[in-house]
Amino acid sequence: MLENLKKYNIILGSASPRRQELLRGINIDFEVMSMDVDESFPPYLSGVEIPMYLAEKKAEAYKNMLTDERMVITADTIVFLEGKVLGKPADKKEAIAMLQQLSGKTHQVITGVCISTLNRRRTFHTISEVKFARLNEAEIEYYLENYAPYDKAGSYGVQEWIGFIAVEQINGSYFNVMGLPIQRLYNELKRW
């Protein structure tokens, strides 16, 4: 469908199985190449600036591989609650604290995406608002015992059990909450 991309060797710069699944869903050929990139950011950044900065920072790691025929897609997703970033939890204690903070509240999931070739770059963001039901201790404990949310911003995966029982409402892209606003990415690639 995306005929304009036929000339590109596309790299998805992410080890996330969810991002890989979503990109496969729009039927483009790509290879996965993940690099370790320090995900720290300057303290003066806030909200949408953070994942856009990190998506571009990740793209920089591939700079020496890019050509006019090689494209890299990088992304970063944050959970943003009451002016604070909830990143990936370091351990169970931190995961419990994050889920307790999200319980009964509405938060934002913001993904920054960067599309790069040797001479061109496009960075954009998508915001989804997610309303969580109140969670009790037993539900949080069950989720952490039976799932592995330690590689997920905010300590949860919307496509997992907790998404079924806790997510009351989403305003915006569901796939963005999974980690890649695929419909927006498709449109950006179509215009490339």
- Token pair 């960067």 in the structure block, residue: 114
Using CA atoms, how far apart are residues 56 and 123, in angstroms rounded to an integer?
7
- Residue 159: CB atoms within 10 Å: 15
Alpha helices (H) in 37-173, listed in sequence order: 49-60, 92-102, 137-146, 161-166
Contact between 40 and 78 under an 8 Å Cβ cutoff? The reply is no
- Which of the residues are catalytic? 76
- Letter string b/e over residues 27-56, b meaning 16 or more CB atoms within 10 A of that residue's CB: ebebeeeeeebeeebeeeeeebebbbbbbb
